[in-house]
Structure formats: C-alpha cells, structure tokens
Structure 1
C-alpha cells in the first residue's frame, strides 16, 4: 500500500477521532453510565486502530487495540469507571496524540508504548490502579526492549553481543541554558563514534538535527569500552547536565519464532480491518456511522490548506490589479470602461467574501483542547474547576486561529493559578467549592472577541502596585494616584509576576507581556477588568483576517502611508494655535482629554515639500486606553488593501507593519499604531 497517497487524510481523520475521544471522555467522567458516550469512544478507538494497522503504524494500533478492550469492559459493566481509570485512558490518548503529531511532522510514528499498554492490560484484568503502578515500577526495563527495536536492529544487537561488544543505552540531558542543541547532539555523536557505533537514537537523527526535541535524547551504542569510559567521553562535551547509561540485556529478546508469530498476528489484524481502509480512499464518505439512523451523504470535500493559501495569494494580486483598473478608469473618464470596472469590482468583492469564508474555521478547533488541560491542572493545583465554553462556533481566519492557542493557554493557566481560590478558601467566602472559568467567543463588527473570565478572587490592587514598585516599574507616589484600570495594565509589563514561588503553572518569569505582544502582532488588543472578590475578565480583540485590511490612506509630504481603520478613532483638522506644548511635547485638547501629537514628517524623516498653511490634519489613533494624534498633510480616503510583508531583511523597521501596492502602482507603507503609541 502506498502510504503517501493517503497520509494527509489519515492524519486529519486521526486528529478528528482524538478530538472526539477527548471530548467524550470528559463527558463520560460526568456521566459514567451513559452507554452512548462509551459507544462513541469505542467507535473512535476502533476506527483509529483500523486506520493505523492499515497504514502500518504498529505502536498506534497496539494502544488503540488495548483501549478497545478496556472500553469494551466498561460497556459490558465488567469494569467500573473511576477518576484513576480515566487518568490512564487520558494518558493513552496523550500518547496517541504524540504519535500522530510525530507522523504529521514527517516521523515514523514510533514510541515506547509498553508502559501504557501494560497499564491498560492490568485494568482489563481487574487489577487496581495502585497495584498496576506498583507492578510497573518493579518491571524490568529489559521487557520493554522488544518494542524499542525492529527485527533488523535486534539481529545486529544479538550478533554484536556474540562478538564481544556491549550494547549500551545512554540517556543524555542537556542543560536548560543550552543554546545550540543540535550542535551539542552532533558533538555527542562524534565522541561516541570514536569508541563504537551508534545504531539508533530517539528522537531520530533528523529530528535531532532540526532541534525537534526538548532537552533529552537517547542513543543506543555498540562498544567494547566500559560504562565509565563512555560516560567520561560524553561529559567532554559542554552543556551536558546529566547522563545515565544502562546495558541492554539482548538475551531477553524474543526468539525468531515468536517474532514470526507476532508478525502473523499483525498481518491478520490488518486483514481484519481492511474494510476500514476504504474510508481513507473515499473522502466523501463519513469515517464512521453516527448515532441513530443512517445520515445523509456529506456534500463536503477536504482541501489542502496550501491550496487555499495559494488561492488567497492569487486573489491578493487580483485586488491590487483591481485598484489599478479603478485608478485608470477614473483618469480615462470612459463610461463603458467605468461600468465594466464597476461590475468587475462587485464580482471580485463577492469572490473575496467567498475566499475569506473558505479560510474561516471555528475557534472550536482551539477551544476543544482546553477542557483536558483544565482537568489536569486542577488536579495538580488541588482545586475544583470547571470550564464553560460559549460561542465555540465563532469563526476566525485560519492564520489567526494558528496563533491564538498559546496566548489562551497562558490566560487560562493564569486564571487557574492566580484567579480561582482553593476550595476551602472559596467555602469560607460563601462561594461554591468549584470555581468556574468561562471561555467565550463572539463577533462584533469586523472583529472577534475572546474572553477568559473567572469567578475567583479578582485582582488585588495593592499586591500589584507593591510588586510593580519593587520591580521599578512605577514609583510609590504614582502608585497611589493610578486608576484601577491603569493598575491592571501593569500586569502586562515585561516579566511581571505576582507569584510567590516558582511552579509548573506560573511564576516562571514569563508574564502576560508575552500574551499582549502576541495579540498585538496579530493586529489585536487585550484588555483586563476585575472586581475584587468576584473575578477577573481578560478580553482579546482580533481582526477577522490578516491578509486584506481596511485602511485610511494619508499623505505625509509627497509620500502615501496607510493607517489601519481598526486603530483609528476619528480624524480632525485643527489650527496651529490650538496646539500646546507640555514638557517639550506637543499636545491638543481632544474632547477634554490631553492627547500627545506625533509629527509623522519628523518621525519618519520625510523630505519636506509642503507647508501646512496654519492648519494641521490629525488622525486620532488608539492602543488600549492610550490615544495619540498623528500629524499628516492630508487625507486621501478609505481603501481595502492587501497587506504584504517587508521580508526578513526589513523586519526590524520600527512602527511599520508591512506595505501595499496602490492603484497607481506606488508602494505605501502601513503604520503600526501600537508601536507608535508605545
């Protein structure tokens, strides 16, 4: 069977089944007696097993096969659902996700699955979870070797042993401050190959070269040197934290007859699931039947996202040419040409809406991974927390969806650690012991808002200001005059944290400034509001799409610049005498508020070619609660433009987020108002 032909489909459908399993397992924890939930989970595991066996991913098939046995026991009431049991099943799903991610990144889908398979086997046999853990702790590492090496590697190990070589497994952990991980790995390989032969590494050599690993890796080495000599060789490489070496007992390997029997079982497994492979060859059919009666045929197709990206790029070029034609039409003043261009503009506008809609995906794809995370962290923190998701069907452009996952993880962790109190503290305040975090998404105009709110303790103003003064962010005098919203904004200062001790959840020196910078890089904003004793809400404002944006075109001397409409409050024309100077800074009184002015001619060092004649054209822009006035020469008008990157060479240009090509063929730079105000 040709894997490449069906690989993309296999990966996408595997992710869908894993997502379904996660969702239904969380529901089953609340309703363990619901037979429909158990059947759905069993069906997902069975389908995934069949696809994995057909595609030749043995580790994936082994786990799902054993999961089936456990789920079947639950379905037949021979196994009782408990929180500890679900921990093992969730752990199994985590391993499955790791394998699928490895496959999607070009790996072979190999993992050491013996430990998790044995846990599932013990559950199937009726052993308690504690007994299972104890049994696994004393289990010999040698019994896992059969799963770590393929037939060829086992043969090499056995023959090398007969020739007097030692077979060592060296587990190497790099220091956390290691900068060039791939270089250190190369140096380790180099010193080991001086004393023997490296026959295997985990992760693979390709993954190590691409730094697709954390800080540790394992090498299988054949050598005649001792363990002490090998370890001394490895420690000659700098930035090595620690090394553990164990000798492989090759005598424990299965005999060749047992291996052949295993292969026969695997082949029969593939034949048994051959019908499932048909689902991989026909994308118009559902991978599995739904509950109840047969569903109608699905009138959808899978489209590779690269094709949509290419389509979007081509349409962006069409938008540029449309602007050119509109300009030519205005200059020519030909009625027939004007009508044709107008009709083409309407058609291309409709086409633009269709293409943008095709790229829109529901935020559910990001939100669905959080219930599992909340469950696990709540246990780690010894807290009772439920997650309420609202508006998961809200759609965003795929490019935005890809970027918001990490900021949301950070905000959710923040709410769990800093926001929600421990059950005893909540009870003493008259609150339910279980805290609630609400993750909400909704459309508003040309933006999508995502809110992370909790019913916890709220933000302690005094604690925030004390820490800010201690870190030198503000002075003691200023802390007493700040409004609450200004105090809450301090949470976004670089490296700011109110955590008293370092933990896996917070207090790691990486503050909410990371979230703010990420959201602003997407053209969005993040706000925070809090009521002491009641809770805190973080609001993220995001654009619907990043590629085609609405701007105000302005003239700065003889040059044209674009200002995103999402940053503009309004425009104004003022007299020179209305401009005041405060602390060497030009300001104006804008609706009772002092607004600083930024003269873009001076800021960008644009050659002067025009005089203002006693009047100034001002664009009032906003970044969060801060506003500023940008001084320009004149307003040209609103326009939809295609945002183009300046490329790596000009990536460090300050206050410029990109460029666009105008209808007259000129290039206009797009201002980054967030950087200007900052």
Structure 2
C-alpha cells in the first residue's frame, strides 16, 4: 500500500509526539521510583499508538519493537515488573532505536537498523532477567558514492580553486550526546567551507547516538593544518584524519533506488524542495500533554520550507517601503490641490488600510518563524539523567518556561551553549551526595533551567546549588596559563576574576575527564551567544552555587536600533548595545596616550569617530559640539562620534550579500521607509577592536 505525503506527515508528527511522551514519562517513572498508574497508562497508550500506526504504515520493525516495549509496560501495570534502574536503561536504549528507525523513515522511507539485539533484551526484561546496556557500536565506513548533483557541486568548487577534503572525525567513545557533538563539528566546518555530504547522512548523524566516528566531505579554501587544529579544539573530538581528494578520485555517482524520494518541504503544494541542508519548521510545535491527564489540543499543522518564510519577510519589507512612499505622494497631492481633496482622501484611506494589513502580515510572519524553546529544553532531562548516573551524583532537575518562544535561528544556536553550561554544573558545580551531606546540604543537588521574557529579550537561566566558582582559584589558573599577569590578577575584583572563565583555554578542573575540563567550553559558550547578539553573565558564591544568565533577542530578523547620520549616510546602532547618547563640547574632548577621550562623570571614556572607523575624509572645519553615542557591554564602554541623531526605529536586518561579504565594522544593512539604505554597525566588533587599558587623565 502506498501512502500520500500528507498521510506520512501525519504519521511522523504523531510519532514525534509519542516518542517525547515516552521519554518524559519514563523520566517521571524513574524519579518517583513507584508504579504511578497515571504515568504507566500514559506510557502504555503512547506505545500502543506507535505500534498500531507503524503497523498500518507497513513499518514492521518499528511495530515489532514497540510491541515488546508495550509488553514491559503492561507487566508494570500489572505489578509484575518494577521500574529498576537497569530496566529503565534498557527502555531508553529501545527509545534510541525507535528514533533511529524514525530518522531512517524520514530520510529514505525505509527501515535498515537491526533491532534484533534490542528486541532480545526487551524479551529478557519481560521474562524478569537482568539486562545491561552495551557500549555503542562504531559506525561502519561507507563507500564514496555521490549523487550527480553532488559531483556537479564538487566540480564547481574545484573550478573556483577550493579543495575537497575527506574528513574523518573520531569522538571519545564515552561521549554523552554524540549527535550534539556531531552537530557542533558540522557547524564549525560550515564556517570554514561547504559541506558536500556526510556519512552517515546528516539527518541520521544529528539525531542518532549509534556511532563514534563519521565522515564529512568538505569543499574549503583552508589548509589541512588549520582544519585539523580547529576541529581538535572541539570538546570530545578524540582525533581527526583529513585527506585531500581530487574530482577524479573514486567519486562514484550514486544510483537512485526505485521509490527513493526527497523529504517534501511543503505538503500544500506537494513540491520536492527539501534537501539534507534545508531546515524545516512547523507553524506550531506540538507539546505532549503531561501525565496528569492534561487535555491535548488538536492542531492542524503545515510544514513550510524556512526559506519561504524568509522570502515572505523580505516581501513584507518591500511593502513597508512602498507604503511609506505612498504616504509621501499623498502629502504632495494635498499640497498641489488644496480645494478638491476627495480623491486624495480616498487614496489616504486606502493607504492607511494597506498599512494596517502590512503591519498585521509582518506580525503573523514573525510568529510563524517563532518556535517554543521546549524544542531545545526537552532534550536535557534525559541528558541530565544519564550524566548524573555516569558521575554518581543525585540531581533534582527543574525546567521552567518551556512555552517561551524564540526565532528559529536563535533556537538553532542556543542548544550547544546550554549543553556546556549544564554539563559543567553537573561536573564542576554539584558535589557528590556524600560531600553534600558533610556540608549540611541535601544529598540531591538542585539544577534549574528556566526561560522567561524580559522586555524585548528572552532571559535563560542555568542555576545550581553546588560548590560555586572560587575567584582565587580562577586568578591562580589564569596567571599559570599566562592569560593575565600577577599584577593584573591582584587588581581584579572577585566578580571580574570569575569572568575570566570565558577566556579560551582556562579551566579550573583538577583533571580532564570525558565530561569537561579541557578549557574549551566557556569561551565557546560566550562566542556562540554573541554570534546571535546575546550576552552571558555569571554570578557565583563559594559553597552556595552559580547562576549563568543568558540574554537573547527574541528574533534575529528585526531589531530595535538607533539611527544616526554621518557625512550623508544613515547608520543603525543595535539598541541593546547603546547605553546613552549625549552632546559634548569641543573643549571636553582631549588626547591621552594617542587616544581620543573625554571625562564622563569622573571616568575616562574612549572615543572614536565614524569617519576614523570607516576611513572617511575628516571635515576640515572643527565643530563647537559633537553628538556621541555611547556603546557598552559589561564594564567596557566606547563613545562613537556622529554628525546627527535621528531617533529609534525597528529595522529588518538584511545581509550584505556574497558580493560585499564581511565588511569590518558592519554587520548588515536595512532598507529605510524612504527607500534609502541604512548600514548596521557591528557594535560588538567595534567594542572588542577598540578595547584599551586603563588611561590616566588629570582631572
């Protein structure tokens, strides 16, 4: 029987929901340690649904696997089996196998994964035998087979002078969340070139845990040493083998298998538009109901290629521009004909209505790009549970604010920094149960992950009640590593010393293990969060715990900005970096150690002009006063001299494009209401570039 794409999509959506229900409720079952009838009923119902729907769709391996899972839950309901730790481990292994089958169905509409071993374990568990989970299998090497499209892409990059590399990445066998580590590697490689293909396929690689090595084919202008050095800085990458390949070197064209189809990006039009590198997003993500019997909402969803949403956003931007121009034309018509304005008034009414529709349309499209952060948060309870077992620690994991929504681009980036913070909290922060008892603390450490809205930002908090960060230990380690001098260490306050953990290569761990301690975690957290215009702060008290606070924009597509004018060009400063604006007389500006500075409330403020920043010709005539935009992040501040302040405005961020590429000092551009182009200032880059030490100014 052949099923339509719409029917397959319904099956996969339901499957995703039921797997999440099984995961959440298994964790609840393990935490309670008791056979909660409501939880067991919810689990049994989810497993039964998967078994039935997969059988109807013809996926026999999935149906057989869930049948065995269902048998275990049935025995639990009848008090014939207890939720022991070993039994829960086997059930989680079965869920991992279920996810692999799901990913294979998504990618190839087929089931290839061998479920014999896990089904045998489940049968042993049903019979009451003790079972254990083996070490993960190593992925078998695959032959180099490329599609005609991939061969064409390789030849295209070859003509441009790029080298094709076969990169084999070997992870530490004890790595937790291998799929996440593979995702980080791919993200890093995409910054260094173009990923042609991966073995296994990326859809399986970033979701499965059944591998410890994988291969990436990358077209890049970088050399082997640089690629190897960058990849080896990624935590839990054990070794890397990089081999340059030529277009003629064993690059066989893969033969299409009968019935093989690409994942369809949209079910409304039935187009075959998705590819392994395309990202799909739902208009509304489904959240499984809790075990308490919370009522489920039936929601109709449509899958849409994200690129189409981006195109829609650009079209709305064009509408906004034309609406503003229309208002300008109406004003001119009023001035030309002041006596009979009936037609002009009708035109004004139509223009106003178009403006209202445009605003509503923009709001709807923005909401379509938003996803609940539950998409990221849902993966952590399982990770915390497995890691706590591995570290022999007891942890109470609290998750709040999963319904908070973020732009899908922010969602894609925030996962890895949160993994680093949670892993460090478990490894470095929360003490072993015996140590906590000696300190008068509860045996189980408390780890809290929360998300909430604050003004135009979302704030994510990772908080633990562990041993905290010792500022003196951080100072000693920073001096030992040569990051700062002893004199600089002595001058730092405790709060400033703790911030040193974000410096590359700094770790206070006494020994490196397979969880953390390599000194490449916190700097990654900071850099990745800053890439999406966010910031991270840390507060800690020795013996009481640590709080990491991440502040992120709700969306990367639209930001609030301060518009300024300088030498006839409009510039936009992201408002989250603007601390204040002021007017300074020429007598307030002075030179100190070759720097332009001014005194502001008794402190030295370094200054830079936009003319100096972009190498524009300086005006010959000195002004009596100047406008200054003060940018700041943390304790670092910088004043930027501009010709005029225009006011605040919401702007749509547009890329400078491949032709211009990266321009120092700029992060993008925007189209203003009158059709002019505004250049968006890279405020963070300017602050980092112009960070200077302490200056002595005679007051």
TM-score range for the pair, normalised by the shorter chain length: 0.7 to 0.9
Match of 1:58 among 60, 70, 74: 60
Give 1:629 shift: 1.1
Does residue 658 of structure 2 align to residue 667 of structure 1?
no
Counterpart Cα distance in 2 of 1:554 and 1:400? 27
Query: 2:277 — aligned with what?
Result: none
2:468·2:540 contact (CA, 8 Å) conserved in 1?
A: yes
Give 1:369 shift: 1.3
Question: Tell me, what secondary structure is at the counterpart of 2:608?
Answer: strand
Give 1:206 shift: 7.1
Counterpart Cα distance in 2 of 1:303 and 1:240? 37
Give 1:471 shift: 2.0
1:558·1:609 contact (CA, 8 Å) conserved in 2?
A: no
Match of 1:95 among 88, 94, 97: 97
Query: 2:257 — aligned with what?
Result: none
Counterpart Cα distance in 2 of 1:354 and 1:516? 32
Residues 134-153 of structure 1: matches in 2 within 5 Å? none
Query: 1:16 — aligned with what?
Result: 17
Counterpart Cα distance in 2 of 1:322 and 1:587? 43
CA 1:215 to 1:288, structure 2 compared with 1: closer, same or farther past 3 Å? closer
CA 1:375 to 1:611, structure 2 compared with 1: closer, same or farther past 3 Å? farther
Give 1:618 shift: 0.7
Give 1:507 shift: 2.0
CA 1:520 to 1:380, structure 2 compared with 1: closer, same or farther past 3 Å? same
Unaligned runs of 5+ in 1: 138-143, 145-168, 186-204, 219-237, 242-282
CA 1:183 to 1:416, structure 2 compared with 1: closer, same or farther past 3 Å? closer
1:172·1:217 contact (CA, 8 Å) conserved in 2?
A: no
Query: 1:321 — aligned with what?
Result: 322
CA 1:110 to 1:474, structure 2 compared with 1: closer, same or farther past 3 Å? same
1:320·1:642 contact (CA, 8 Å) conserved in 2?
A: no
Deviates more, 1:560-569 or 1:48-57: 48-57
1:173·1:215 contact (CA, 8 Å) conserved in 2?
A: no
Question: Tell me, what secondary structure is at the counterpart of 1:129?
Answer: coil
Query: 1:491 — aligned with what?
Result: 501
Residues 97-136 of structure 1: matches in 2 within 5 Å? 97-106=99-108, 108-129=110-131
2:414·2:529 contact (CA, 8 Å) conserved in 1?
A: yes
Query: 1:27 — aligned with what?
Result: 28
Aligned residues: 560
TM-score between both structures, scaled by the size of structure 1:
0.75
Counterpart Cα distance in 2 of 1:331 and 1:490? 59
TM-score between both structures, scaled by the size of structure 2:
0.73
Note the alpha carbon deviations across 1:265-295, whole angstroms, 9 max, x for none.
Answer: xxxxxxxxxxxxxxxxxx99x9999989997
Question: Tell me, what secondary structure is at the counterpart of 2:669?
Answer: strand
Residues 313-392 of structure 1: matches in 2 within 5 Å? 313-326=314-327, 336=345, 340-392=350-402
Residues 151-550 of structure 1: matches in 2 within 5 Å? 182=166, 207-208=198-199, 216=213, 239=241, 298=298, 300-304=300-304, 306=306, 308-326=309-327, 336=345, 340-550=350-560
Give 1:320 shift: 3.5
Question: Tell me, what secondary structure is at the counterpart of 2:571?
Answer: strand
Residues 490-639 of structure 1: matches in 2 within 5 Å? 490-608=500-618, 611=621, 613-639=623-649
CA 1:291 to 1:95, structure 2 compared with 1: closer, same or farther past 3 Å? closer
Unaligned runs of 5+ in 2: 145-162, 170-195, 206-210, 216-239, 244-282, 336-343, 689-699
Give 1:359 shift: 3.2
2:21·2:288 contact (CA, 8 Å) conserved in 1?
A: no
Give 1:171 shift: 6.2
CA 1:217 to 1:585, structure 2 compared with 1: closer, same or farther past 3 Å? closer
Query: 1:78 — aligned with what?
Result: 80
1:557·1:610 contact (CA, 8 Å) conserved in 2?
A: no
Deviates more, 1:657-666 or 1:556-565: 657-666
Question: Tell me, what secondary structure is at the counterpart of 1:405?
Answer: helix
Counterpart Cα distance in 2 of 1:315 and 1:333? 27
Give 1:240 shift: 9.4
Does residue 34 of structure 2 align to residue 43 of structure 1?
no
Query: 1:250 — aligned with what?
Result: none
Counterpart Cα distance in 1 of 2:491 and 2:45? 61
Note the alpha carbon deviations across 1:322-343, whole angstroms, 9 max, x for none.
Answer: 3444555566666746665455
Give 1:622 shift: 1.8
Deviates more, 1:611-620 or 1:114-123: 611-620
2:565·2:645 contact (CA, 8 Å) conserved in 1?
A: yes
Give 1:671 shift: 0.9
Point out the structure with max Rg over C-alpha.
1
Deviates more, 1:385-394 or 1:354-363: 354-363
Counterpart Cα distance in 2 of 1:486 and 1:85? 47
Counterpart Cα distance in 1 of 2:426 and 2:60? 38
1:319·1:642 contact (CA, 8 Å) conserved in 2?
A: no
- RMSD (Å), alpha carbons: 3.5
Counterpart Cα distance in 2 of 1:33 and 1:407? 36
